[in-house]
Amino acid sequence: EDRLLRLRLNRPKANIVDAAMIAALDAALVENSRDARLCAVVLDAEGPHFSFGASVEEHLPGQCAAILAALHRLVLCMVEFPVPLLVAVRGQCLGGGLELALMADIAVVADDTKLGMPATRFLGPALGSLHLFFHRLGPVLARRLLLTGDTIEAGEIAHLGVFTEVVEADAVTARAGWWAEKASRMPADGIVLAKEAFRLIEQLSAY
């Protein structure tokens, strides 16, 4: 009934978060940001993996500034989007893909999902991710991922409450659907006010 906006990463073979994908996501969110019928956005991925991360080629000197600026705009668009973002994750969720997942208001993640920022091993620490990782993962885990390039399984950090639910891989789709159905039954005006209130609280707690 037009109460859910469904977006799907679909870039074979591993849903690389490149300039084209960032632009497409940004355009879809901007286009639908004023739709008063919406109660939630559902983001998932085609194939066995959510995303292998950002395009390495686009992070080389000469292109890096442009792709980082585009990703920053997308992150701000996600933060400011008026209704909750729900993400369903399985397989590999690395680099820029992990940044997208961490921006979600509600995240359903498979317990064997691989999480990490492995590009730090050859591109250096992902400084642009420091703020997001610090606030969403906590300082200890953020340091581990950003300073070592470690990859961990979502099940290892389920107790930290980083994600809404960490479930078995074959349950991700069903649980994400349950949350989406729950969101679609909420009054749109109330959802918008609640999302705005949470955004203001997060801004105040950052200082």
* Per-residue pLDDT reduced to its tens digit, 102-147: 999 999 999 999 999 987 776 665 666 788 888 889 999 999 998 8
CA 13, 55, 41, 36 torsion-angle sign: negative
Mean pLDDT of 47-62: 82
Query: Over 90: is that where the pLDDT of 48 sits?
Result: yes
Q: At what angle do helices 130-137 and 139-148 cross, to 10 degrees?
A: 140
Among 205, 43, 196, 50, smallest CA distance to 135 is for 205
Q: What is the pTM of this model?
A: 0.90
Extended strands (E) in 28-156: 40-45, 85-89, 92-94, 106-110, 114-116, 151-153
107 backbone dihedrals φ, ψ, rounded to 5°? -130, 125
Does residue 94 or residue 118 have the better pLDDT? 94
DSSP state of 59: G
Residue 112, sorted as left (phi over 0), alpha (psi -120 to 50) or beta, turns out to be alpha
Distance in angstroms (rounded) separating the CA atoms of residues 29 and 88? 17
Confidence of residue 62 (pLDDT cuts 50, 70, 90): confident
Query: Over 60: is that where the pLDDT of 43 sits?
Result: yes
Distance in angstroms (rounded) separating the CA atoms of residues 183 and 186? 5
